[in-house]
Structure 1
């Protein structure tokens, strides 16, 4: 299987997804789009993973490559690719599908609980997930209105829509199940100006003290990827 990911800044990479892909002997490729590198042909990959970043989906004047990326994501969805969006990536998916992305009422930064939909386990890719999990958050914007024909999967006190799916091919996560310890430390270094004193924003010390939560998050991200791979193989056979 061929996985392609789009990266928006040097330090926000796919984390545990890279490890999972290597364990399964999948082919990995990437576009460092912030450097002006070209996007691949749709024939060159099977899954598309769209990573996070400090920019906003509506800052096309500042980041002109956003326009090209939105078209590419839309084409990938139309082509029936598996498309996974994380944080900014999830917001880009919401935008191209007709949702609304706006500033959230408060920033969420740090380790915070999300509650999953009661019927989440009926969705094959999430059959092993718990009802609640502590996840890593780092966002100020969110998809305040879901796109048509999507299903909300999770919410929290600070952000009522945390994840959604569009059919069995498109998955969007506002939070970071994939994130590596090194990326968290880089966020604290490079994006400290985004930190606030709100009810859902933690201090650097609290964030670093709770790094053990990574183990559980990575466990469920790998479970999700395993299930998604099985589903996609069945689809290919059919």
Structure 2
């Protein structure tokens, strides 16, 4: 059986809705937290599929989180070998950093459910499943496109919402895995100020999640299933 490894940057940001299509594609999943003492010894080149999830920290907060340098270095090695890799939000930013791009604080906090705009490449990719479907956004960082990748999607506030390199690398700034996971309540806990900077209240965001979440997860699963099929 193929092996998949999930890199979890915080306990409340797991694989969520993506678990089903990944397991359906024949991957036995394991997980490690970056706070686990064993994390520093994990060989990123061993799994058949590496999945990097989100987190509240920034790639540039390396003094506060010494594991970031270690993760970026091992990720760069994996990417150089062309091994299947999926990054979500912070995971996408880690991929960008591993490919030489600088990650930095963006112009606004982008939070809430809204669709991404696909370009021609995105419409001809697995992202076609999320076209016009409101997806969860929860970030405030961005990056220039790394060399050699193909942009797939944008929003008005953040031009680089998704990119790929060949069939093996997919980076998503938005959270197509979230919409039915009860851990979303942990995202909301204490996030009044962060959510408020995006012009929303916690109750409004919770209402979006309850109303739009199931459709977002269904579209996200279809996207990931098609991406995995092409590996």
TM-score (norm 1): 0.87
Partner of 2:158: 159
Partner of 1:59: 61
Q: Any gaps of 5 or more consecutive residues in structure 1?
A: 233-238
User: How far 1:41 moved relative to its partner?
Assistant: 2.7
Return structure 1 stretches of 4+ with deviation > 6 angstroms: none
Q: Any gaps of 5 or more consecutive residues in structure 2?
A: none
Provide the secondary structure at the position in 2 that maps to 1:133: coil
Contact 2:45 2:78 survives alignment (8 Å):
no
| Worse overlay, 73-82 or 168-177 | 73-82
Name which of 62, 65, 84 aligns with 1:82. 84
Partner of 2:136: 136
1:53-89 CA-partner distances (Å, limit 9, x unpaired) = 0111011110000011001211221222111111111
Residues 13/231 of structure 1: CA separation in 2 closer, same or farther (3 Å cut): same
- How far apart in 2 are the matches of 1:189 and 1:177? 21
Name which of 198, 203, 206 aligns with 1:205. 203
- How far apart in 2 are the matches of 1:120 and 1:109? 22
Cα RMSD (Å): 1.9
Contact 1:48 1:76 survives alignment (8 Å):
no
Aligned length: 227
Provide the secondary structure at the position in 1 that maps to 2:35: helix
Partner of 1:105: 107
Q: What does residue range 1-238 of structure 1 map to in structure 2 within 5 Å? A: 1-38=2-39, 39-42=41-44, 44-123=46-125, 125-126=126-127, 128-129=128-129, 131-143=131-143, 145-179=144-178, 180-198=180-198, 201-211=199-209, 212-232=211-231
- How far apart in 1 are the matches of 2:188 and 2:22? 27
- How far apart in 1 are the matches of 2:28 and 2:109? 36
TM-score (norm 2): 0.90
Contact 1:115 1:133 survives alignment (8 Å):
no
Contact 2:90 2:173 survives alignment (8 Å):
yes
Contact 1:118 1:131 survives alignment (8 Å):
no
| Worse overlay, 41-50 or 79-88 | 41-50
